[in-house]
Amino acid sequence: MKREVIQTADGSKTIKIIGLDETYHSIHGALQEAIHVFIEAGLNELKSRASIRIFEMGFGTGLNAFLSALKASELNMKVEYHGIEAYPVSTDELDQLQYVGLVKEQDRTVYKKLHESKWGELVSISDSFQLKKIQSKLEETDLAADYFDIIYYDAFGPRAQEEMWSVELFQKMYDCLNKGGFLVTYCAKGQVKRNMKAVGFRVENLPGPPGKREMTRAWKD
C-alpha cells in the first residue's frame, strides 16, 4: 500500500493511503481528533487513578501514544501502554509528520524515545510511561485476559477494513479488558455498535470531534 503525508485542517499532518482514500486521522484535524477521542474521552475518564494500562489497536504514527505519555506526566499517573501495529510507519514518514513540532522542547525526547524503543519489549519512556510496541496483526495476537483498563480502537474505518470491526475482534477486546474498563473509538457506525453489544459491551454515544457528529465509548460493566 502506497502512502503519503498530507496536512489536515488544524495544521497537523497525517498519512493517507493512496488509492484507498483512507487516512490515519481525520482530515478535519489529526491532532484535534486524537485529543478529543482518545485523551479526553479516553485517558481523562480515569484521571483519578494512580495507574492504568492502555491497549492501542493501530499504533501507526504513535500520535495517540505520544499524547498519552504527555497527559500521564501532567496527571502524575503511571501508564503501561501496549500498541499493536501490523505495518509500521517508516522513519522518513515520521520525519515528514513533524509531530515533535507540536510540543514544547522538553517533551520532544519522549517522542524520540517512543519511536526508538524496541518492538516486543516493555520499555520505560519516562517516569510515568512504559511502552510495549507489538509488531503483529491483531487477529493473530493473543492478549492477556482482564488486563487493560482502556482500549484505543483506532483501526481504519469499516469501509476500508470491515474485518477489523467484527464480533470476533470485539470479543477479543472485551476479554482483555478489566471489569469497569472501556474501549473508545472515533467510529459510530450502527453495525459496529451492534457488534460491540453482541459481545456484552454497554455502548455510549458521545459527541464526535470537529467534522463528526458522534463517536463511541463501550464499557465492560
Ligand X SMILES: C[S@@+](CC[C@H](N)C(=O)[O-])C[C@H]1O[C@@H](n2cnc3c(N)ncnc32)[C@H](O)[C@@H]1O
Give 9 or 180: the residue with its C-beta nearer to ligand X: 9
Q: Which of residues 134-193 bind ligand X (CB under 6 A)?
A: 137-139, 154-156
Return the residue of 86, 143, 188, 203 that touches ligand X, per CB under 6 A: 86
Q: Which of residues 25-64 bind ligand X (CB under 6 A)?
A: 58, 60-61, 63-64
Return the residue of 47, 74, 87, 202 that touches ligand X, per CB under 6 A: 87
Cα separations in angstroms, 79 against 65, 68, 98, 105, 170: 10, 8, 24, 22, 23
Extended strands (E) in 8-88:
13-17, 22-23, 51-57, 78-85
Which string of DSSP letters, residue by residue, matches 106-163?
A: GGHHHHHHHHHSPBTSEEEEETTEEEEEEES-GGG----TT-EEEEEE-PPPTTT-GG
Output the smallest distance, CB 147 to ligand X, in A.
Answer: 18
The residue with its CB nearest to ligand X is 60
Q: Which of 125, 133, 2, 128 is nearest to 61 (CA)?
A: 133
CA distance 178 to 216: 18
Output the smallest distance, CB 179 to ligand X, in A.
Answer: 25
Number of residues forming the site for ligand X (CB under 6 A): 16
Give 60 or 209: the residue with its C-beta nearer to ligand X: 60
Return the residue of 8, 13, 24, 165 that touches ligand X, per CB under 6 A: 24
Give 126 or 136: the residue with its C-beta nearer to ligand X: 136
Residues forming contacts to ligand X in the complex (CB under 6 A) are 24, 58, 60-61, 63-64, 84-87, 137-139, 154-156
